[in-house]
Amino acid sequence: MFTININGDNYKVDFWRDEDKGKTTHCNIIIKNTEKVEQIISTGIATCYFKDNFNKNKGRKFALAAALDNLFWGYPDYKKDRKIFWDTYFKIRHGKF
């Protein structure tokens, strides 16, 4: 989980793994308004093929990519905002891909 401030808006990105299936990673992008009310604005899901081994980092990257695609779909001008999300993600991963 990490938080980002873009243009005065506070975003929180939250990951979790589906314990029932075991090979599904979820990502929610949540915005907090000035009254501290949280609202989910985008969701991404990554599911492994049943023959693949689960990899937490790959699942998070695919789920975050899906959530960002849902959030910025149809808005090509938001490339710099997408970059802020990815830069922050790689910063918490200590530069590892």
Q: What is the CATH number of the domain that holds 51?
A: 3.30.160
- Contact (Cβ atoms closer than 8 angstroms) between residue 46 and residue 23: no
Q: Is 97 within the bounds of a domain? A: no
Q: Tell me the per-residue pLDDT of 73-95, one tens digit each, with 9 for 90 and over.
A: 877 778 888 898 999 998 887 76
The pLDDT, as a whole number, for residue 21 is 65
Which residues of the chain fall below pLDDT 70? Answer: 20-22, 95-97
Q: Is 67 within the bounds of a domain? A: yes
The pLDDT, as a whole number, for residue 12 is 92
User: What predicted TM-score, i.e. pTM, was given to this entire model?
Assistant: 0.85
Q: Which domain holds residue 19?
A: 2-92
Q: Is 40 within the bounds of a domain? A: yes
The pLDDT, as a whole number, for residue 96 is 65
3-state secondary structure of 74: coil
Q: Is 37 within the bounds of a domain? A: yes
- The residues that bridge with 28 in the sheet, in sequence order, are 14, 43
